[in-house]
Amino acid sequence: MSRIGKKPVELPSGVSASVSGQTVEVKGPKGARSFTATDDVTITVEDNVVTVTPRGSSKRARQQWGMSRTMVANLVQGVSNGFKKELEIQGVGYRAQIQGNTLKLNLGYSHEVNFEVPAGVSVTAPKPTEIVIEGSDQQLVGQVAANIREWRAPEPYKGKGIRYKGEFIFRKEGKKK
């Protein structure tokens, strides 16, 4: 039995869900998102509660049960609250700024890195050493954060680079004479 799949997904006020076939569409203040489940699960909406139940007791049906429930819960959270990733930049001269739809990064290279922000995500730089990524799609927000971090991942000797806020970087000791 899936402990996650058994829990119903509550719809907060201002959020509505509709099911047509295997597709769930959730609408809220931050937009509309949809998810198409496999044929191994049944999705129903009753009284502001979305429930996911497996069809049969096969291993695949039980796997899809918990995953489908989590996907629906992520849709609900995305259209009601949204998702947010925060990045910190550490290093002398490393900074970020937003110009239009482009994030300009100075990361110690001989050139400035221009990162085009994809649609569906908003990127802000409240300080020159902070980047905030927000959106209703959890996968897209995480992927954009990973792509930005990839330009200069934190190195273990001085800790310079782009890191997630609160991330611990395992530090190494330098060479001894």
pTM for the model stands at 0.86
Q: Which two tokens stand for residue 74?
A: 């992520």
**Domain definitions of the chain by residue range:** 3-80, 83-164
Output the pLDDT for position 23: 92
Q: pLDDT over 70 for what percent of the chain?
A: 99
Exposed, middle or buried, 5 (CB in 10 Å: 0-12/13-18/19+)?
Answer: buried
The domain defined by 3-80 folds into Outer Surface Protein A; domain 3 (3.90.930)
Identical fold for domains 3-80 and 83-164, yes or no, is: yes
Mean pLDDT throughout 76-89? Answer: 93
Q: Edge-to-edge strand order for the sheet containing 9-10?
A: 9-10, 49-54, 41-46
- Category of 91 on φ-ψ map: left (φ > 0), alpha (ψ -120 to 50) or beta: left
pLDDT tens column, 94-142: 999 999 999 999 999 999 999 999 998 999 999 999 999 999 999 999 9
pLDDT tens column, 2-19: 688 888 999 998 898 999
**Hey, which CATH number is domain 83-164, 3.40.50.12780, 3.90.930.12, 3.40.50.620, 2.60.40.10?**
3.90.930.12
